[in-house]
Amino acid sequence: MTIKDVADYCGVSVSTVSRVLNNHPDVREEVRVQVMEAVKTLHYVPNAAARDLVKTTNDSLGLVVRGAGNPFYTPIIHAIEKAVEAAGYELVLHQITTEDDELDDVAQLTRSKRLNGLILLGGRFNYTKEEVKLIDIPFVCCTFANNFGTIDATDFSSVSIGDRAEAYRAVRHLIKQGHRKIAVLTSSTNDRSISELRYNGYLDALKDAGIEPDEGLVMQCGRFDMGSAYEITRQLSRERQDFTALFAISDTLAIAAMKALHDEGRRVPEDCSVIAIDGIDMSLYTIPTLTTLTQPKEELGTRSVSILTDILSGKGGHMHERLGTVLREGGTVCPVQDFTS
């Protein structure tokens, strides 16, 4: 079933059918209707490969998401999809796992799908100049940037929160409540990614408050995995009774940690305050509601798209936007309990 079959069926040429299919004006209304009905009757669907092959440019943008299951990305992807459509582009979505390298994928996508631009959602922070050269179309990093890399800031765009500063703010919030023994739950302290940045923000806050970092209060759970976050938090709770607050670098880790604290008989927030960063939907439903710095998820998506489309239409150049978070006051933070009184 090809366009030729439809043409023969209608007694017209393939170009006429093609015109109807692509809404070109120069077709007699009568013929247009006839073709459309033939398409329905024959259940004809154009071959995308052939179409892609012939079209040299196709107004499509790519979105590569690293770490599919992450609930934090869901609303961002939604926002991007809507914004891309509104801008008159088509979106090619590609999910990869956290083990895959997004740049390998990007090379594939851009060259085989003739993309005009690219959005990377979640990715490494340490691209090299070499690697970036492989991406020969404009791209914007969403929710992350090149914080550890060496590439030129004018070669790409980014939209994200200031991870280190926001982590600082979260921990600062705990310190203001009188906490000084503050544990941190991160996936890693030195993986050149968001985890490392937020961990550094934690250290910054301690330092500014004149608190000596305590290595025994640093929990690394490896990946963004609730199971290991739970285990490691239980373990620390058994080993150490003295910490009065916990900063988790993401909502999901915080939720696992709250459960672990509970299972060790420690109440949140009375015995241990908890704060996190992200603001996923689920953390609205924990008991108590998680106190967290919510990222402007929709805005992260829409800004990424508009920066990209502006570049493509010549309206602007590469830029790096840092958006702010909003402190969502839940019920997991309270002033430190004074045991001496």
Q: Which residues bind DNA (CB under 7 A)?
A: 2-4, 11-16, 18-19, 21-22, 25-28, 30-31, 46-47, 50-51, 53-56
Contact criterion met (CB below 8 Å) for 167 and 197: yes
Q: Pick one of DNA, a copy of itself, none as the site partner of residue 88 (Cβ within 5 to 8 A by kind).
A: none
CB of 264: closest distance to DNA in angstroms? 57
CB of 92: closest distance to DNA in angstroms? 17
Contact criterion met (CB below 8 Å) for 117 and 63: no
Q: Which of 26, 265, 285, 340 binds a copy of itself (CB under 8 A)?
A: 285
Within a 10 A sphere around the Cβ of 313, how many other Cβ atoms?
A: 9
Using the rule CB under 8 A, is 57 a contact of a copy of itself?
Answer: no
- Give the binding range for a copy of itself (CB under 8 A) out of 184-192, 202-210, 223-231, 290-298: 223-231
Q: Which of 11, 69, 216, 222 binds a copy of itself (CB under 8 A)?
A: 69
Taking the CA atoms of residue 209, residue 327, residue 255 and residue 272 in that order, the dihedral angle to the nearest 10 degrees is 40
Q: Which is nearer to DNA, 106 or 300 (CB)?
A: 106
DSSP letters spanning 112-147? HHT-SEEEEES--S---HHHHHH--S-EEEES---T
Using the rule CB under 8 A, is 282 a contact of a copy of itself?
Answer: yes
Using the rule CB under 8 A, is 41 a contact of a copy of itself?
Answer: no
Q: Please, which residues bridge with residue 96 across strands?
A: 66
Q: Which of 282, 281, 290, 236 is nearest to 258 (CA)?
A: 290
In whole angstroms, give the CA distance from residue 163 to residue 5: 57
In whole angstroms, give the CA distance from residue 260 to residue 308: 42
CB of 70: closest distance to a copy of itself in angstroms? 9
Chain contacts with a copy of itself (rule: CB under 8 A): 1, 43, 45-50, 52-53, 68-69, 71, 74, 77, 93, 95, 107-108, 111-113, 134, 226-227, 230, 255-256, 258-259, 262, 281-282, 284-287, 289
